[in-house]
């Protein structure tokens, strides 16, 4: 089994208007993005080329929005409020890894 290109645990995953998990996992591995619950059950997944993600102007630094299979998810890299700069950096790393995996520069 290969090492994932990106993996973050403790991610709050919400599908408007409700939260799906407060301690989920976002994983990019073998060209696929997977959103997982805290128990490892798959919420949604898609090839990274089919995923659209970004940080809207109104979002906090630790939040991103991803459209997976036509469904919008709000992903909050929530470190329990301990270090907001670290959470924002993690969100940036996710966006960069998604772009790299999709073949972007």
Q: Closest Cα partner for 35 from 13, 55, 56?
A: 13
pLDDT tens, residue by residue, 38-76: 999 999 999 999 999 999 888 888 999 999 999 999 999
pLDDT at 22 (0 to 100): 93
pTM: 0.89
Does residue 56 sit in helix, strand or coil?
coil
Task: Report pLDDT digits (tens) over 14-24.
Answer: 998 899 999 99
Percent of the chain with pLDDT over 90: 69
Please name each of the domains of the chain with its CATH number. 6-101 (2.30.29.30)
Strand locations in 37-98 (E): 42-47, 52-54, 63-68, 71-77
């Amino acid at each position: 089994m290969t090492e994932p290109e990106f993996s973050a645990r403790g991610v709050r995953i919400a599908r408007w208007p409700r939260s799906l998990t407060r301690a989920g996992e976002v994983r990019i591995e073998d060209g696929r993005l997977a959103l997982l619950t805290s128990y490892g059950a798959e919420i949604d997944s898609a090839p990274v080329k089919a995923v659209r993600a970004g940080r809207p102007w109104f979002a906090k630094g630790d939040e991103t929005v991803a459209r997976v299979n036509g469904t919008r998810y709000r992903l909050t890299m929530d470190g329990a409020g301990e270090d907001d700069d670290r959470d924002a950096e993690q969100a940036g790393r996710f966006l960069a890894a998604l772009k790299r995996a999709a073949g972007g520069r």
